[in-house]
Structure 1
């Protein structure tokens, strides 16, 4: 049984989407980021970077003590290897999937996160930052659009590469992007959106870039004001 420490951010939704696609048994332990639950000692013992998602595998292969994993890319790779699903075993094909998984965690996610932060959450406009990150997200969308020009999925068959990228395309409007500008990406996005597992994953989920009300000063401090201590 997989215990998923979860909040409905793109990174959290990646793992939920994988679990829905594969049918691995799991349960969710919610983490309220605005309340600072990610800084609780019990959570930090699992995720020392105080970020979601994180998992505890209570039934690891071969038995033994539960296994904890943090960082969404590492979690996807671990679960794919555990289940034998959504990642090829052939060396070349496996490498291709991992390239695009790491492309997402190293580029699309961080740049999308910065674009969303400065476009939605910054307490005052920072035009240079908005332009810088919006342009970089547009460039990355272009990379993915060209990749999908002659293929149905990002790396061969549907895989953890697609699962990693999709939740970071969902908030495209908050990132300042128009999907119709990227026709191959739009076609892929609509196909993933139509999958039953995707619909189950996103049922009742509100966009992390559409807060119901402005953040309080305390919520802003908790979410964005952490330093080395």
Structure 2
């Protein structure tokens, strides 16, 4: 109980500090080739992550909740609303360097690409879209109710958003000797062969997308299997 209270307090503190800071936008490309757009304005903090335009991970927080959504070809495919302190703390911790840069705490060192702005109108259309919290939240609720034809897909919990089929072509490397060598679950094996091109993966014992992969194998987003 004490640890839960501590995490809640830390998450609330991080959100309060974020809301008190100046508005900023960041466009960058990570070492693994993933592109990111980060925006903070008022109570909202958001990030888009993608390696290809057709599949995008969007995360938006109002300081009390964290909305995670997967968009395929611009359409909402999966989403979840997180309220636990640990998820919020990880999310804002990942933004800590950007907040420091925006406040000028780091001077110009390591702050390339951080741009301060005053009004939402100073952002381009794509950047403004990240701040449409209510619109995304409504779309998520509709998806979870199945109103958009998503069925029960929107009800997947975070542990299901990233999956690992245990086949010849999944995990760290491959046990297959030839390209066409498939195991008993041939359909899953074919999906696993495509994982090398998946834009959202987490290597063993690495942190990405505010999640830590404590397993010995690589985790891949389930959208890469569809």
Range class of TM-score, shorter chain: under 0.3
Relative contact order (C-alpha < 8 Å, sep 6+): which is higher?
1
- Which structure has greater strand proportion? 2
Compute the TM-score of the two structures, normalised by the length of structure 1.
0.26
Tell which structure's C-alpha radius of gyration is larger.
2
